[in-house]
Homo-oligomer: A and B are copies of this chain.
């Protein structure tokens, strides 16, 4: 194996000191143009690459950002990660990725690995079951900013970026009312999640205040399959709803499968409206109308918040992405 170039090697070859070479490579004003020239040349000839470990050790910092998500392979997270990666790369940061499998124990393991890797900052979407976030908050004590995103802890004072959940559900509810729908099957996700609670509360409220006569059938689905069954059952009875509201992409895909199975026409037989990251609704024909909760947008916001933090804006804040309706032809 070819050994890597170091400052030492370059300096001895050029009869210069290590510090001069170091400075020359950084275009330090003290160094003469001629010396810089010589150093630069040899460095590129030897394909010199500064040793990041040495730099990190010396400066006690790194350009690594940790990301912990329940799973990568889901409608939303990979688009978040993708947009985060783009932003990070532009600023010279790299992303180290971990999955918790929605298991708090693995989440803790991942946290440990993040610490071990001495990440400069951490983005985390907690598991459905994470109650105690003190181990995360400890990172703040050692000046590693932690930014919670999407599924954020409800109680503590911590940095959060998430969607305007209440708004998203309200916008969908209003659209349904505006379309004069009367019988709504509303499928929500895991009842424990703060996201679910917020969305449901606001969804209900809009109906009770603006269209109290609407028949609301509210159910929960923790998976694609459950969403499909809920939809199938509700839509195959005689009391078929005129509208199905889906709280997430996962639920939407389940609902759509049931709709296809029942060979229902959209929106003639049943209308659909969803809250979504935006990819799934466009797969269908007609395209599904949805309230956008964009993972990409959230990724950008999260990264910006991290940079602000590095820039000194270390105060705690909760940021929201506004929701907007994207019209399809499903309602």
A–B Cβ pairs within 8 angstroms, 29 of them: A1-B142, A50-B116, A52-B116, A53-B118, A57-B57, A64-B96, A64-B117, A72-B72, A72-B78, A72-B81, A72-B82, A73-B79, A73-B82, A85-B97, A85-B98, A86-B99, A86-B101, A89-B99, A89-B109, A89-B110, A94-B97, A94-B117, A96-B96, A97-B97, A256-B283, A258-B285, A260-B284, A260-B285, A261-B285
Task: Give the complex CA separation of A126 and B78 in angstroms.
Answer: 19
Q: How large is the interface on A (under 10, 10 to 19, 20 to 34, 35 or more residues)?
A: 35 or more
In A104-134, the 8 Å CB interface with B consists of 106, 109-110, 113, 115-118
Does A94 lie within 8 Å of B96, measured CB to CB? yes
Does A257 belong to the interface (CB within 8 Å)? yes
Contact yes or no, B1 A141, CB < 8 A: yes
Tell me the complex Cα distance, A105–B82, Å: 18
> Closest CB of chain B to A309's CB: distance in Å?
14
Contact of A94 (CB < 8 Å), options: B53, B79, B113: B113
Chain B residue at minimal CB-CB distance from A143: B1
Q: Which residues of B contact A99 (CB under 8 A)?
A: 82, 85-86, 89
Query: A106: nearest residue on chain B (CB-CB)?
Result: B89
Report the minimal beta-carbon distance from A278 to chain B, rounded to whole angstroms.
Answer: 11
